């Protein structure tokens, strides 16, 4: 039974970079870790890649139905077809990722590669070599609002049967740790999950700012002023740490009715542009007055944090840019630098947070500090907070530029 449950994980994501492939999947992990090295020479780490035969083709896509999908015969068939379509989409994308990964790592690793020929060998290897499994979330455990087939069984096996330490990490800063936990519990029907297992890039940003401003900057977090481009989830996580937060999704200005748009849900006026004249006269009262206290001396802005904001606009760019100009010591933090995400059956590129980060970097002539995957900052947070033995830690994900790079260079 243990063997069967171990195999489930490879029908879910197949480790650091894939989900479904027609005939192969692979694992990339650090078998040894030594301190003191640099990224250029892999820090003395012996990186190994294991490839095994998965025997999964388009005709063998999972037909498993989740309890929530059985709503009568008609709905059942529709949901079954949607699940098959999801599996096929993932499989096709994995073929592309597989070829790209092999091109990246085949010649680099050479004789250091380990080939595992079947799932039994892979199962034994995972059981023997790893204590901690770190999962990316979107595209690995779920796709949109659909669970990846057999993800639920895999997690239950790892947590309950094998007693592995399982962590969940995402570059999505739109959710706080609590929101991420609630989403996983709802989608995966897994009541075993706790908030402490969740590591979102919003949490990573808050921890980084706490360390830099409180421990290294000799400031009390409650006296720290952080301006946000991002969602309410990012703002909530920062507020949970005690930061005073401005900006975010409700960054509105009620003083001027010119050149504005009205939201459907509120009578508040949401302005999206800013003219030369308005920027010249803009007072930055909200951004520079901590807790609403009106002082003669502006309260310093200690950091500008950039998370994905689907309502990002020129006005937000202007305000963040000038705040960095007015407060040159303010930290510029990116929750991630993802270029794009994939949506739809034809894998359309949905611009990611990296596009917003580049806009602010270009305008401010500053380089943002990335606290999401694949940064060392996030790797150090995981190691310190969970006392990880990096040589016995496996990263599971679906992207080369974030998950694989993080597993190879960071974890």
327-355: pLDDT as tens digits: 999 999 999 999 998 887 777 899 999 99
Q: How much is the pLDDT for 256? A: 42
Ramachandran bin of 132, using left for φ above 0, alpha for ψ from -120 to 50, beta for the remaining angles? beta
The pLDDT score that the predictor gives to residue 187 is 92
Helix or strand or coil: residue 38? coil
* H or E element at residue 178: helix 177-188
Instruction: Check if 223 is active-site.
Output: no
Q: Which residues, given as ranges, of the chain have pLDDT below 50?
A: 1-71, 252-268, 290
Contact 88, 148 (CB under 8 A): no
Burial of 395 (0-12, 13-18, 19+ CB in 10 A): buried
Q: What is the per-residue pLDDT for 47?
A: 36
Residues paired with 28 in a beta bridge: 49
C-alpha 125: how far from chain center: 27
Q: Check 85, 131, 346, 389 and give the catalytic one.
A: 131
Q: By the 8 A CB rule, do 228 and 208 touch?
A: no
Separation CA 18–CA 12 (nearest Å): 9
Bond prior to 374 in cis (omega within 30° of 0): yes
pLDDT at position 109, please? Answer: 55
Strand partners, 50: 27, 114
What is the rounded CA–CA span in Å between residue 341 and residue 137? 13
At 6, give phi and psi (nearest 5°). -60, -35
pLDDT of residue 60: 37
Q: What is the DSSP letter of 264?
A: S
* Dist CA 180 CA 404 (whole Å): 22
- DSSP string for residues in 92-135: HHHHHHHHHHHHHHHHHHGGG-EE--SHHHHHHHHHHH-SEEEE
Q: Helix and strand tally (H, E) in the chain?
A: 13, 18
Distance between CA atoms of residues 265 and 299, nearest Å: 32
* pLDDT score, position 37: 26
pLDDT recorded at residue 329: 94
Q: Are 322 and 278 in contact (CB under 8 A)?
A: no
Indicate the DSSP class of residue 221: G
* DSSP, res 354: H
Pairing of strands 348-351, 340-343: antiparallel
């Amino acid at each position: 039974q243990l063997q069967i449950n171990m195999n489930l994980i490879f029908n879910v994501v197949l480790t650091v970079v894939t989900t479904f492939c027609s005939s192969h999947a692979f694992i990339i992990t650090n078998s040894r870790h030594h301190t003191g090295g640099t990224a250029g020479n892999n820090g003395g780490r012996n990186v190994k890649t294991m490839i095994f035969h998965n025997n999964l083709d388009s005709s063998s896509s999972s037909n498993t139905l989740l309890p929530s999908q059985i709503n009568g015969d008609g709905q059942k068939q529709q949901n079954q077809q949607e699940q098959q379509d999801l599996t096929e989409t993932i499989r096709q994308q994995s073929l592309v990722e597989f070829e790209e990964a092999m091109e990246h790592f085949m010649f680099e690793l050479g004789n250091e590669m380990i080939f595992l020929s079947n799932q039994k060998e892979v199962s034994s290897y995972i059981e023997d070599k790893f204590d901690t499994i770190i999962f990316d979330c979107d595209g690995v455990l779920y796709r949109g609002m659909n669970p990846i087939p057999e993800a639920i069984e895999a997690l239950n096996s790892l947590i309950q049967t094998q007693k592995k330490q399982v962590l969940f990490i995402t570059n999505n800063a739109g959710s706080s740790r609590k929101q991420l936990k609630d989403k996983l519990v709802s989608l995966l029907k897994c009541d075993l999950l706790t908030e402490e297992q969740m590591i979102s890039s919003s949490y990573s940003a808050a921890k980084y700012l706490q360390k830099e401003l409180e421990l290294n900057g000799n400031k009390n977090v409650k006296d720290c002023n952080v301006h946000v481009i991002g969602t309410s989830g990012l703002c909530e996580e920062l507020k949970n740490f005690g930061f005073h937060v401005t900006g975010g999704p409700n960054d509105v200005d009620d003083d001027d009715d010119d050149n504005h748009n009205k939201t459907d849900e509120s009578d508040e006026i949401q302005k999206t542009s800013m003219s030369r004249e308005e920027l010249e006269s803009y007072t930055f009262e909200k951004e520079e007055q901590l807790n609403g206290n009106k002082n003669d001396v502006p309260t310093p802005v200690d950091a500008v944090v950039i998370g994905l904001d689907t309502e990002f606009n020129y006005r937000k760019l202007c305000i963040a840019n000038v705040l960095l100009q007015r407060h040159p010591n303010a930290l510029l933090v990116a929750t991630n630098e993802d270029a794009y995400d994939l949506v739809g059956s034809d894998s359309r590129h949905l611009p990611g947070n990296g596009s917003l980060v580049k806009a602010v970097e270009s305008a401010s002539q500053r380089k943002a500090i990335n606290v999401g995957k694949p940064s060392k900052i996030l790797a150090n947070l995981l190691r310190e907070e969970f006392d990880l033995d990096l040589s016995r830690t496996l990263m599971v994900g679906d992207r080369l530029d974030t998950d694989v790079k993080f597993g190879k260079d960071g974890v």
